Amino acid sequence: MKDFFDEGDLVAVLTTQPLDRPLDYRAPEGGCHLGAYVEVPLGPRKVHGVVWGPGAGGFDLKKARSVIRVLDLVPMREEMQVFLEKAAAYTLTPLPAMLRLATRAPGLSDPPSMRKVYRRGDGEPARMTDARARVLEVLESYGGPAFTLKELSDEAGVTASVVKGLVKQGAVFEEDTPRDLPFPHLDPDLPGKTLTGEQAKAAATIREGIQSDRYGTTLLRGVTGSGKTEVYLEAVAEALRQRRQALVLLPEIALSAEFMTRIEQRFGARPTEWHSGVTMTERRRTWKMVGQGAAQVVVGARSALFLPFLDLGLIVVDEEHDTSYKQEDGALYNARDMAVLRASIAGAQVVLASATPSLESWTNAEAGKYRKITLTSRFGAAVLPDMQAIDMRGVQLPSNRWISPDLQGAISSRLEKGEQSLIFLNRRGYAPVTLCRACGHQIACEHCDARMVEHRFLKRLVCHQCGETRPMPEKCPSCEAEGRLAAVGPGVERMTEEATALFPEARVATLSSDLFSSARALKEGVRNIAEGGADIIIGTQLVAKGHNFPLLTLVGVIDADLGLQGSDLRAAERTFQLMRQVSGRAGRADKPGQALLQTYQPEHPVIRAILGGDEEAFWRAEAAEREQAGVPPYGRMAGIILSSPDMQEVFDLGNDLARRDAPIRAIGAQVFGPAPAPIARIRGRHRVRLLVKAPKGAPLQKAVAQWVGQVRPGNQTRLTVDIDPQSF
């Protein structure tokens, strides 16, 4: 394609505005490159966009308006354009919404002021106030990247006038050109760990892939502690030697402190972080540096896939099975799949690492689409935890107690030895149900089809769907009886209470995402635990995600059956993965670990598989069941969610869609529903779901686009397409 347009040429400009296609403009004075970031007139407004290609024409060309100016940014590379187009087509997301993911950082929808505020070495304000002190503290504690005035005031939690006051008094000053610190250099040739035979072989295979300069995906499987990270760090080193960039995606980026240190130890400098906790200023700078190739290794959340890498050689997706890789609002995409797409366009290698791969990746490997490498043993002396079920059917516990005598005994013995125990329960809050003992009323959210969950630390009820909170009432909201509200069932906070009562001497720490005010506080909490600051850890699924607690030797699961309820065909897979991940936290260092799973169904095939049954056999049985049902990875699915404040409207629209299923039937697929969505109401919107099940090779996206294109949702109704839904 032509990559430069002369002044007056017709160019198509894609903006993040919700239009269905790029609009034509005249190239400005001096011309513009393909991919250039530009400002264009749109109606009475000025908006930013990207020169997407030659204009389509076909209208009165005299009316074509001109590009106002070309922004001072490196043009978007063609590779990124192709990626965005393919990702949009795959997920049936409008292209402008995809573009938004790739341009959020430079702030194209809201052009940033480039003037940055700096501390003046000797300047002190004539009068110091708390607010002023906070601003100066923020400036000093960050040291490196500068803030714009607005960012600085946001970060310090003061109004902009406080900062302006400091400027006036000469304590800080504003300057146009950002003074970027040099980016750290990561050196791949520093000595890494000496790999074991098995690890070295794995690393060599992936290295060859990178040297080939071609796309390829490797599924790197191995129990927790087998050295998957060591292996893929060698792949990162190889990418750096080839002067290409590497991206490592982690599911829980807030907990990555330990990982950052590990990379620093290996390569002599810290990698670049990319996630929602990074300030806007840093993000802009990172965006630029990634584009120039100066940021060699990025460790990030799924949105890092949309960074403008200059030459991407490797993408690692760690814990590739993790459900949080699926983005659940806005553009619905699975970062694991988009990583493969991105790499195939960039000619890069992908490493999917997991102790418990998704059935999707497992079948892709079996089918030869992915290379499969398995690390069979834990590194060094570490052995896999001894896993046992505690059959709860015969256990008599006092009311409101959940820790069985066996588990209690095991924790006691750890306490005596100075080792840590983890009590795992995948439920945030104090108790899942708050019930009135007088009338039987259960407190529910007014806006959602969900119960309100008591959070005793906050002294509030919280809806886990919409986030609405209210103070814990004293009277029943229904019958007004006083003092009759009771907590029913356990949440992590309640487990903390029980553990504290059973082991009054022990230091008990609770790790649940809602108990930390910020990502920084959470990181701090995790570090404290890793360093031995707690004897008993009570945690939700947050703790299952790949950190190293070297002193942890016992994992007790309160309710191993929790995930097996319900009709979701993925329940077995998810439970297996979660239980194995959690158990894998025990005994990573020189001390052997133990995992005890409290269950009412010890004979359940999934529980048996978790307890060390034949893993391959479990996956094969799962696979057979999915194949029989014709669902992913053996068939394809799409979900359509319709939502509206008006229940009648969503059902009418759903029924209308179900009737017009000809485009779906034409590809040999079927429509199921409409039925109430798994959560039938969120934030006051009723939700109805239709599911499409198609044979594996069928052109699903095309058919779905045609199908939903037949209906016009009313003003209040939203229609969302979810290709490859998480649950079915």
* Residues of the shown chain interacting with ligand ADP in the complex, contacts defined by CB under 6 A: 193-196, 199, 222, 224-230, 379
CB 105 within 8 A of CB 286: yes
Candidate list 263, 448, 609, 723; residue touching Zn ion; CB under 5 A: 448
Nearer to Zn ion by C-beta: 205 or 465? 465
Amino acid at site 247: L
Contact pick of 447, 484, 507, 702 for Zn ion (by CB under 5 A): 447
- Pick between residue 474 and residue 590 the one whose CB is nearest to ligand ADP: 590
- Contact predicate 453/432, CB 8 Å: yes
Distance CA 74, CA 292 (A): 8
C-beta closer to ligand ADP: residue 263 or 452: 263
Residue among 379 and 503 whose Cβ is closer to ligand ADP: 379
Q: Is 476 annotated as a binding residue?
A: yes
Q: Which does 222 bind (CB under 5 to 8 A by kind): ligand ADP, Zn ion, none?
A: ligand ADP
Q: How far is CA 94 from the centre of its chain?
A: 21
- List the single partner that 500 binds among ligand ADP, Zn ion, none, CB under 5 to 8 Å by kind: none
Q: What DSSP string runs through 143-169?
A: -SS-EEHHHHHHHHTS-HHHHHHHHHT
- Output the smallest distance, CB 136 to ligand ADP, in A: 40
d(CA 171, CA 173): 7
Cα–chain center distance at 530: 23
DSSP-based three-state secondary structure for 302: helix
Task: Choose from ligand ADP, Zn ion, none: what does 447 bind? Cβ within 5-8 Å by kind.
Answer: Zn ion
Contacted entry of Zn ion, ligand ADP, none for residue 468, CB cut-off 5 to 8 Å set by kind: Zn ion
Closest CB to Zn ion among residues 150, 470: 470
Q: Which among 688, 689, 683, 641 has a CA at the least distance from the CA of 463?
A: 683
Does the annotation list 439 as a binding residue?
yes
Smallest separation, CB 447 to Zn ion (Å): 4
User: What is the CA angle 87-244-274, rounded to 5?
Assistant: 60
φ, ψ of residue 692 to 5 degrees: the values are -110, 130
Instruction: State the nearest-atom distance from the C-beta of 602 to ligand ADP, in Å.
Output: 28
- Which SS3 state, helix, strand or coil, does residue 668 take? coil
Q: Name the binder of 196 from ligand ADP, Zn ion, none, CB < 5-8 A by kind.
A: ligand ADP
**Exposure of 41 by Cβ count < 10 A (0-12 exposed, 13-18 middle, 19+ buried)?**
middle
> What phi, psi does 671 have (nearest 5°)?
-110, 135
Question: Residue 271 has which token pair?
Answer: 């990698």
Closer by beta carbon to ligand ADP, 175 or else 531: 531
Number of C-beta neighbours around residue 443 at 10 A: 21
- Choose from Zn ion, ligand ADP, none: what does 463 bind? Cβ within 5-8 Å by kind: Zn ion
From the list Zn ion, ligand ADP, none, partner contacted by residue 55 (C-beta under 5 to 8 A by kind): none
d(CA 575, CA 581): 10
Q: Which is nearer to Zn ion, 453 or 572 (CB)?
A: 453
Q: How far is the CB of 263 from ligand ADP (least distance, A)?
A: 12
Residue 245 and residue 315: Cα distance in Å, rounded? 9
Task: Say if residue 463 carries a ligand binding annotation.
Answer: yes
Contact between 466 and Zn ion (CB under 5 A)? yes
Contact 35, 102 (CB under 8 A): no
Shortest distance in whole angstroms from residue 375 CB to ligand ADP: 7
Q: How far is the CB of 465 from Zn ion (least distance, A)?
A: 5
46 vs 614: CA distance, rounded Å = 62
Q: Given the complex with ligand ADP, which of 224 and 717 has the nearer CB atom?
A: 224
Which of 323, 465, 601, 706: binder of Zn ion (CB under 5 A)? Answer: 465
| Helices (H), ranges, 278-428 | 280-292, 335-346, 359-366, 405-417
Q: How far is the CB of 239 from ligand ADP (least distance, A)?
A: 18
193 binds, among ligand ADP, Zn ion, none (CB under 5 to 8 A by kind): ligand ADP
Q: Of the listed pieces 18-26, 321-329, 431-439, 466-474, which binds Zn ion according to CB under 5 A?
A: 466-474
Q: Is 150 in the site for Zn ion (CB under 5 A)?
A: no
Question: Is 448 annotated as contributing to ligand binding?
Answer: yes
Q: Is the peptide bond before 633 cis (omega within 30 degrees of 0)?
A: yes
Strands, E, within 74-169: which ranges? 116-119, 147-148
Map the footprint of Zn ion across residues 216-235, applying CB under 5 A. none
| 32 has binding-site annotation | no
Residue 468 binds Zn ion (CB under 5 A): yes
| Position 462 contacts Zn ion (CB under 5 A) | no
The residue among 548 and 701 lying less far from ligand ADP, judged by its C-beta, is: 548
**Nearest distance in Å: CB 378, ligand ADP:** 7
463 binds Zn ion (CB under 5 A): yes
Judging by DSSP bridges, how do beta strands 552-557 and 420-424 pair with one another? parallel
With contacts defined by CB under 5 A, how many residues of the chain interact with Zn ion?
Answer: 7
The structure tokens listed for 442 are 């259960």
Strand order in the sheet with 69-70: 23-26, 10-15, 45-54, 37-42, 69-70
Numbered residues of the known binding site for Zn(2+): 436, 439, 445, 448, 463, 466, 476, 479
Q: Which residues bind Zn ion (CB under 5 A)?
A: 445, 447-448, 463, 465-466, 468
